Amino acid sequence: MRSKIVDVLSTLAGDRVDVYVSDTEKTVYIECRTERSLDFKFKWLNDDHFTGYFIDNTGTESQAVISIWNDKEAYEFARAYKTLVELRASRQAPR
């Protein structure tokens, strides 16, 4: 299941988003290339799910804010994250 979830989260990589996967540390970092963004770190725990943490601009981890247990939940997170990136503060007004 871990590889399926990682595959889904990796689809977020694109114009404004970087995704870094560490197989040795069993982590996934999702970073938006804007000053005001929501960066996440996901850790694989208990060999059965990822737990996600907000990462602030100093690299400080929040308490756990999300758990992803399967690829369906990973798709839901990816869709929500894309929306947050599109609606971020300091973007140009829609036309």
Q: Does the pLDDT at position 36 exceed 70?
A: no
Residues 40-80 have pLDDT tens digits of 999 999 999 999 999 988 889 999 999 999 999 999 999 99
* Summary mean pLDDT of the chain: 92
Is the entire prediction scored with pTM above 0.85?
yes
So where are the chain's domains? 2-86
φ, ψ dihedrals at 31, nearest 5°: -130, 130
Identity of residue 57: N
Task: Yes or no: say if 32 and 85 are a contact pair by the CB < 8 Å rule.
Answer: yes
- Domain 2-86 falls under CATH 1.10.10: no
